[in-house]
Structure 1
């Protein structure tokens, strides 16, 4: 079941406000880092919304916690199953630990070794299935149906979307007149939550979805008017890689709420990671760099705008980060 076509932003804002009350004791209000170097690119004011500083190193904890905290007694007794390329799994494991809920996390066989290690450190029960996120999610959902456990989607869930929408509430608290927000897009939960929470009170704010050229499923689907099975290639943005499940409520919401789509190359992603490290001494993962790269490509069209770039996570393997930042170094 999706959102009301005429009231999508208002519905999502209400979900975000309810989520704010549930999850506030458990999450961080992440910093808004002024970015002087990026501000020079568009002769405006640019901020990094540092979701990379959130618990578990990613924004995902907001949505996962909101879903877990909204479970009733029968759901709590049943336990949960989820699927993830890593960050949603980490967020769900964090929430399960904090709330004392049992569950299993399914990962694709090529999941980031760092994220697998972090999940093990959290004591999560993990299983591997499939060579990509789409197969993993489909299998995990089937297992939930067979066992009677509650499936927590990484994006296709109103509670998850509401949790991510709390980022939009925090942005407006700091910058009530924000002109533009850029966020990376995989399944669309992050940008749907932010766009709804913001546009319900400030519809003139431009929301831009940024995706890697190697995995552009949502952008291609929205531009085609239907969810498509879009081929993907390997990308540094493993956190946004993969397709969109049939009937995902984020598709229609993205169609209505996202004003522009921007694709970036793998070289663009690398340059953005290096820039943020060199200028801010901050480590961000590929998915976060996608939004920074999107801004750099669009900066001439955003002249003078007060802009927020959501840096969605920091969970990147050291070996991968080293090859990006210091490709010729011998350590």
Structure 2
């Protein structure tokens, strides 16, 4: 676990801002971009499990919180975006930034990797000012978008390596603490670490007794691989594509996350698909693999640990019926 001094300094500064200003970020979010619905569920006969349904927010994922906070800004903390916005994403973040930009009268260019799903591409294309497909993976798309932004004197909004994005995501932690003071465990899906690090900093500040569990797809877990030196380090296709792929090695989310990572759960494709099935059958929620990953992590860990009041953050629901059905085909039976 090695990162630069500058990277660590930036992470520590971000942590201070997250602790001090997550409340202001929440107060400035539009009413429809906060206070997501939470239900109590029984999953495959087990539970109860609280499900915080970020998939029901505008654009279908939690990403709209970070995008809106970044575009709107926070007086004295984060300047509002002016002019054109560039971003890159496997889908959800790009959709959220395009939505936030349009809602604030700005233009947005979204760079998507070549393996983006057709459904997400079409939705982003309908909202973004311009859509570009570039690169074999998300990191290549991110670097291209950042380069285009610099060339055009515009603002680049990273999917995870941006203070505004983290502040928006931190509002989820504040809502959990406010609405469910008896929560003992929180499960969250992890990719670039934007959601996880924001929750980790704020939960540690407000409720250090809560156990935060980082859930990774076994097939693609770059943050986990940095934590565990002997872990398998070969990316493979995963149902949790929204949290898959390599991340920016200079991201502040690396020290922010790894300094606070105390519980990591890796899940197989069959476990993710099974969680997708149960969320649909038991809760009526058709969600993407990255969202089901948090529930899969809970299902796996609950077999060996006692958790009096667990909650899973259901991060997104942007998946077509046909792709959902195909995903369920990966469930294996003994």
Fold shared per TM-score above 0.5: yes
Q: Which has the higher helix share?
A: 1
Q: CA separation in 1, counterparts of 2:41 and 2:31?
A: 29
Q: Counterpart of 1:36?
A: 42
Which residue matches 1:238? Answer: 241
Question: Quick one: which of 132, 145, 157 aligns to 1:140?
Answer: 145
Quote the residue 2:19 is aligned against: 13
Contact 2:32–2:57 under 8 Å retained in 1: no
Distance change (3 Å), C-alpha of 1:64 and 1:6: closer
Measure, in 1, the Cα distance between the counterparts of 2:9 and 2:170.
Answer: 15
Which residue of the partner structure matches residue 187 of structure 1? 192
User: Which residue is equivalent to 2:158?
Assistant: 153
> 1:291 deviation in Å?
0.8
Cα deviation, 1:249-270, whole Å, max 9, x if unaligned, reads: 1111111223211110111111
In structure 1, stretches of 5+ residues that fail to align are none
Please report how far the alpha carbon of residue 283 of structure 1 lies from its aligned counterpart in structure 2 after TM superposition: 0.5
Residue of structure 2 aligned with 1:272, choices 275, 284, 290: 275
Dislocated runs of 4+, deviation >6 Å: 4-8
Q: What do the CA deviations read for 1:158-200 (whole angstroms, capped 9, x no partner)? A: 1101100111111111111321101000000011111222110
Q: 2:124 and 2:88 mapped to 1: Cα distance?
A: 13
Contact 1:80–1:104, Cα closer than 8 Å, also in 2: yes
State the match for 1:105 in structure 2. 110
Q: 1:134 to 1:9 in 2, by over 3 A?
A: closer
Question: Aligned residue for 1:61?
Answer: 64
Instruction: Quote the offset at 1:323 in angstroms.
Output: 1.8
1:52 aligns with 2:55: yes
CA contact (8 A) 1:19 1:163 kept: yes
Q: TM-score, normalised by structure 1?
A: 0.90
TM-superposed deviation, 1:26:
4.9
Question: Taking structure 2 as the reference length, what is the TM-score of the superposition?
Answer: 0.89
CA distance in 2, matches of 1:72, 1:290: 34
Q: Which of 312, 319, 328 is matched with 1:316 structurally?
A: 319
Q: Distance in 1 between the 2:122 and 2:34 partners?
A: 23
8 Å contact from structure 2 (residues 43, 279) kept in 1: no
- The reply to whether residue 216 of structure 1 matches residue 221 of structure 2 is yes
Residue in 2 aligned with 1:164? 169
Q: Taking structure 1 as reference, are residues 6 and 112 closer, same or farther at Cα in structure 2, changes over 3 Å only?
A: closer
Q: 1:223 to 1:8 in 2, by over 3 A?
A: farther
Partner secondary structure for residue 275 of structure 1: helix
Q: How many residues align?
A: 321
